[in-house]
A and B are shown apart, each in its own frame.
Chain A
Amino acid sequence: MSNVILKVENITKTYAISKKQQKIEKAKLSQQAGRASKTAPTVITANDNVSFTANKGEIFGLLGPNGAGKTTTLRIMSTLIKADSGDVFIDGFSVKNESTKVRGRIGFLTSELKMEEFFTPNYLFDFFSNLYGLDPTKQAAYKKEIFEKFGIDKFAEVKVANMSQGMKQKTSLVISLVHDPDVVIFDEPTNGLDVVTAKVVTDFLRDLRERGKCIIVSTHIFSLVEQLCDRVGIIIAGQMVMCDTLAEITKERTMEEVFFDLYKKTVGEVD
């Protein structure tokens, strides 16, 4: 029986670029060609035919520099945006055609998704539990357990506006997982966190893996990939340039060495 729970199939995503930016791109092309370019690109490609799979009970890392298309990939997976072509299947459900079913099976964490500052962790947990249509009695027990685990019980009635960055991240993590999803999608999980909170988060992700969950993390931090991920997909300039187990990718080298080799081949020397 296949262990694959997430399948990304040839997704391509482009964004329209402004007239002013088109002129700049045209000038760039002209400079490269050594003569005036007649046409200018009207779109920028964020994802170019990206494909990969992820399994139950593993942490899959999407590694790439800023602007490589990692967040776009995660946004497509989480149904927030639509791919121009290609599809993503989560537990067999298409993000294109069965987005509501997909949303019930994923937990998406990103710094772009904020919590209403007026509310407390206690209220937000209940609110999101209701949105997922979960049983209040079961949720009350789960809330107690998970709040204690993350130490949120100590600030359960503090408004988000009055929380530290770490408190917010913990709350955000718990809120996005109220429904105990099978697939957890996490954009830059340790960004902006102190070492203690970062460890709490990474430990929790390992914990989830132990429980058979599939975790997708996007990051540009090599050490995080090396510590945490079972398999890695390296995205550069919108393309999936390598996708394999961590061991297969690194072999005797560090993740950083592998990455810059690939970067040089794909884009060129780092300026």
Chain B
Amino acid sequence: MKNIMTIIKKEFARFFGDYRLALSTLLLPGLMIFGIYWLIGEGMQNLTTEDPEVVYDVAVYNMPEEVREGMMEILALIEEHPELFPGLSFPNMNFHSVDNRTVALERLEYGYYDLLAVFPAEFTADPGRIDEFRYPNFPQKVMLHFDATVQDSDLAFRSFSSLMSAYHGTILPQDVLFFTDFYNIADDAAMAGMALSMMLPMLILIFLFQSCMGLTPESIAGEKERGTIATMLVTPIKRSEFAIGKVASLSVISLLAGISSFIGIILAMPMMLGDEIGMGDAAAAYTVMDYVWLLTLVLTTVILIVALMSLVSAFAKSVKEATGILTPVMMVGMVAAFVPMFAGNMTGIYWYMIPFVNTTLALTDIFAFDYSVANVAVVNAMNLVLAAVFIFVLTKLFNSEKVMFRK
């Protein structure tokens, strides 16, 4: 028993005596997990909550005036007496009466309208005529056209459907006078692109972090710990050459490891999501330039991650300490992987300057067929500039006897 306590005390002294190790093991993971879950929660809410500032433009075809007035009355009632409609709220919607369905549909495609609601000719909401739409006849169908790959259009569709239901419920609580059906104008490739843009940036970043994490601490902190790094530092090689050589080689290997994982995910994705996602459509729809930009983003991000991890590894006394410090660093980086959840609100150029967030944003844009070359170039430039700064500091660390020979 005494010996067991002796061993326990020694282990505790080793662990709690090393403040950095204790901090990175005990405090940071909890903080990171809280941060990640908070972000996920915020993100999910962002996806399903209408922005009160936004006004959705809804084109209406054949919509009778009394229906419009009835719906407006419901909106006004909800606004005046929200306590009567717990949990029910609607965004601001402008109804635009249109005469030409084809033109309205084209405008929907271009984003001029968020939704097109097509009512049947001579649509009636008169409850007295309910018998005309009872079996064997059909209830009237209101067709809603929207683009599921556009967040505003998707939210406008959901809001308008709910409003129609609320309206129908106030005039005819039981019988069905009319119902809404929908048509998603987004093609298969765009839909698949949207699905990819939601998942792949996150997966790519996670795999890149993982592959870098598996290599960098071992290559830098490991060499330091084993004393092999000093053997090279007594040769005439410049510290900057040494730092660049390390970062370049680790980047290539990490990239290969990341690509291997990525291919596995791509192959498994149809099995995960089912065939209807249209992966083939999306893959074929991307141009060569899309793939080139994608590759540059992945490459510059790997260089940035490796440079950052090399810096931490050079600072650490051992592989164990490097891994301990890098785990929360990696978690911070991975938080950025959840950025697509916020993508709708992150359009300013400054978002493309925040490390890792910018990579995920740019990847999301490319997968969703909605990117600007300028933004991607900004991300690549930011990644390389930051990596250069890290390499510069790494060079200084290789020159520092306190860092390199600290025990």
Chain A interface residues toward B at CB < 8 A: 78-82, 100-101, 103-104, 106, 108, 112-117, 128, 131-133, 175-176
Contact A114 B401 (CB under 8 A): no
Contact of B234 among A113, A116, A117 (CB under 8 A): A113
Contact A131 B228 (CB under 8 A): no
Contact of A80 among B223, B226, B230, B236 (CB under 8 A): B230
Closest B residue to A113 using CB positions? B231
Instruction: Give B295-327 interface residues, CB cut-off 8 Å to A.
Output: none
With A114-B228, A115-B228 as given contacts, are A80 and B233 in contact (CB-CB < 8 Å)? yes
Contact of B228 among A101, A116, A132 (CB under 8 A): A116
Contact A100 B238 (CB under 8 A): yes
With A80-B401, A81-B401, A81-B405 as given contacts, are A113 and B238 in contact (CB-CB < 8 Å)? no
Contact B234 A78 (CB under 8 A): yes
Contact B226 A103 (CB under 8 A): no
Contact B234 A132 (CB under 8 A): no
**B232 contacts the other chain (CB 8 A):** yes
B237 partner residues in chain A, CB cutoff 8 A: 131
Closest B residue to A81 using CB positions? B401
Closest A residue to B226 using CB positions? A114
**B235 contacts the other chain (CB 8 A):** yes
Contact B230 A103 (CB under 8 A): no
CA distance A47 to B233 in the complex (A): 22
Contact A131 B236 (CB under 8 A): yes
- Majority secondary structure of chain A interface residues (helix, strand, loop or mixed): loop
CA distance A104 to B232 in the complex (A): 12
Chain A nearest CB, measured from B404 CB (Å): 8
Q: List 6 A-B contacts (CB under 8 A).
A: A81-B401, A100-B236, A101-B236, A106-B234, A114-B230, A131-B232
B227 partner residues in chain A, CB cutoff 8 A: 112-114
Contact A131 B235 (CB under 8 A): yes
Chain A nearest CB, measured from B19 CB (Å): 13
Contact B235 A132 (CB under 8 A): yes
CA distance A115 to B229 in the complex (A): 9
A112 partner residues in chain B, CB cutoff 8 A: 227, 230
Please give 13 more A-B residue pairs, beta carbons under 8 A apart, in addition to A82-B401, A112-B230, A116-B226.
A79-B234, A101-B236, A103-B236, A104-B236, A113-B227, A113-B234, A114-B228, A114-B230, A117-B226, A131-B235, A132-B236, A175-B231, A176-B231
What are the 7 A-B residue pairs with the smallest beta carbon separation, nearest first? A114-B227, A81-B401, A104-B236, A113-B231, A131-B235, A103-B236, A108-B234
With A80-B405, A81-B401, A81-B405 as given contacts, are A113 and B236 in contact (CB-CB < 8 Å)? no
CA distance A104 to B235 in the complex (A): 6
Closest B residue to A76 using CB positions? B401
Contact A103 B228 (CB under 8 A): no
B235 partner residues in chain A, CB cutoff 8 A: 103, 128, 131-132
A80 partner residues in chain B, CB cutoff 8 A: 230, 233-234, 401, 404-405
Closest B residue to A175 using CB positions? B231
Chain B interface residues toward A at CB < 8 A: 223, 226-228, 230-238, 401, 404-405
Chain A nearest CB, measured from B351 CB (Å): 43
Contact A113 B401 (CB under 8 A): no
Q: Which residue, A78, A101, A112, A114, has most C-beta atoms of chain B within 10 A? A: A114
Chain B nearest CB, measured from A199 CB (Å): 25
A115 partner residues in chain B, CB cutoff 8 A: 228, 231
B232 partner residues in chain A, CB cutoff 8 A: 131
CA distance A73 to B223 in the complex (A): 24
Chain A nearest CB, measured from B328 CB (Å): 26
A104 partner residues in chain B, CB cutoff 8 A: 236
CA distance A5 to B377 in the complex (A): 54
B405 partner residues in chain A, CB cutoff 8 A: 80-81
A82 partner residues in chain B, CB cutoff 8 A: 401
CA distance A175 to B235 in the complex (A): 11
CA distance A79 to B223 in the complex (A): 19
CA distance A112 to B236 in the complex (A): 18
A175 partner residues in chain B, CB cutoff 8 A: 231
B238 partner residues in chain A, CB cutoff 8 A: 100
CA distance A113 to B234 in the complex (A): 9
A117 partner residues in chain B, CB cutoff 8 A: 226
Chain B nearest CB, measured from A153 CB (Å): 22
CA distance A257 to B232 in the complex (A): 40
A114 partner residues in chain B, CB cutoff 8 A: 226-228, 230-231
Chain A nearest CB, measured from B253 CB (Å): 14
CA distance A108 to B235 in the complex (A): 9
CA distance A81 to B233 in the complex (A): 11
Contact A103 B234 (CB under 8 A): yes
Chain A nearest CB, measured from B217 CB (Å): 16
Closest A residue to B234 using CB positions? A108
A113 partner residues in chain B, CB cutoff 8 A: 227-228, 230-231, 234
Closest A residue to B238 using CB positions? A100
B233 partner residues in chain A, CB cutoff 8 A: 80
Q: Which residue, A104, A112, A113, has most C-beta atoms of chain B within 10 A? A: A113
A128 partner residues in chain B, CB cutoff 8 A: 235
CA distance A106 to B237 in the complex (A): 13
CA distance A197 to B3 in the complex (A): 42
Chain B nearest CB, measured from A23 CB (Å): 16
CA distance A132 to B157 in the complex (A): 69
A79 partner residues in chain B, CB cutoff 8 A: 234
Chain B nearest CB, measured from A76 CB (Å): 10
CA distance A116 to B234 in the complex (A): 15
Chain B nearest CB, measured from A14 CB (Å): 12
